[in-house]
Structure 1
């Protein structure tokens, strides 16, 4: 099976933008600014309204970015997401059946894990990268600590990453980050202040590029 996921796009700008309960109309208004800033990967969560229709439309209209599904917890969620055209899968937990299916069908999967044991298991089950979730309380130090003994595992901290600490996560050894509300600023979106939203996106991309150049 497999998907149209393009790993080179994620490597170009390793930020997974997580969007939840935003209408298709608004997503379409945001995306030109998102792409212009250099962002390449978008995760639409399965607990959003009309999610399958949104994934389908965004994946069809924007083949030049990776469009995936988040909050995939069950095989049912997974099948719906793939049918809608999701090119990668993100989970808040680690479901063995979901992991197995994705691996067997060459579908990139970023499973959520938190403890060293969960992270190790997720990696062993074939995670593209392990989403450390929630990273909010632990911060970049936790990523560094995990990578001490488990230095071959790719980590994608999600939760609590913002423009002020994003460089620290990369410096700690993360291969990428997931960002939701800290990326898609609710106030700017509600006000349709897309120029300011673009500046915000750009500041995040600049911070990532600076951190990776060090």
Structure 2
């Protein structure tokens, strides 16, 4: 089963799992889905990332899009695809990675910052472009970029939080990439799974 755009549109948040323990990720996956969140990426610089992606695909796939993040090189892409990732996210613009994903029909959300980079990523076939780092220039930048490039779907990532997510959406963001703000380290450290589910739900409600 591949990436589901319907699931993504249901809750257009890409949750970014970075440097969490395998134990925590395994516990979080069902809570994430129960809270109504649908799309999650596991970054390749997380210890055991490939095993976690495989586990998620095998055990938690129902109702979830499972992807790999921090894919910078072709070698990274090979690792991600071998693990079964349904979509690919990069922090940078690597043309070969984009082209290989497009050829294989795997959605890729490449990182870009300037209008030229954003347009380049889209012209290579990326269905959505990760605007990174987003909070540096804020929601106003999305609005400015979207004026001439309204045909390009943008996924602002980096510094997106409960406080600014609605502003990014109003500015024209087609989705939001959220990491540390979403996966609250205090709640996870204390194994407060009920609190984490409520925390996740708050993000869904703010969309």
TM-score, normalising length from structure 2? 0.97
The aligned length equals 206
Once the two structures are superposed, residues 112-150 of structure 1 have per-residue CA deviations (whole angstroms, 9 ceiling, x without a partner) of 000011011111011120000001211111100100111
- Structure-1 separation of matches of 2:68 and 2:82: 11
- Match in the other structure for 1:178: 177
- Match in the other structure for 1:33: 31
- Structure-1 separation of matches of 2:131 and 2:50: 26
2:46 to 45, 48, 52: 48
- Match in the other structure for 1:90: 89
Gaps in structure 1 of 5+ consecutive residues:
209-214
- Match in the other structure for 2:7: 9
- The Cα of 1:32 is off from its aligned counterpart by 2.1
- Structure-1 separation of matches of 2:101 and 2:181: 29
CA RMSD, aligned part only? Answer: 0.9
- Structure-2 separation of matches of 1:206 and 1:137: 25
Aligned 1:113-192 pairs, distance under 5 A: 113-192=112-191
CA contact (8 A) 2:29 2:56 kept: no
Which of structure 1's runs of 4+ aligned residues deviate more than 6 A? Answer: none
SS in 2 for 1:72: coil
SS in 1 for 2:154: coil
Aligned 1:68-83 pairs, distance under 5 A: 68-83=67-82
Q: For structure 1, which segment, 22-31 or 111-120, has the greater mean C-alpha deviation from structure 2 after superposition?
A: 22-31
- Structure-1 separation of matches of 2:33 and 2:92: 29
Gaps in structure 2 of 5+ consecutive residues:
none
Q: For structure 1, which segment, 58-67 or 89-98, has the greater mean C-alpha deviation from structure 2 after superposition?
A: 58-67
- Structure-2 separation of matches of 1:12 and 1:160: 22
SS in 2 for 1:156: strand
- The Cα of 1:86 is off from its aligned counterpart by 0.4
CA contact (8 A) 2:146 2:172 kept: yes
Once the two structures are superposed, residues 60-118 of structure 1 have per-residue CA deviations (whole angstroms, 9 ceiling, x without a partner) of 11122010000000111001100001000000001011011011110100000000110
TM-score, normalising length from structure 1? 0.94
- Structure-2 separation of matches of 1:33 and 1:168: 26
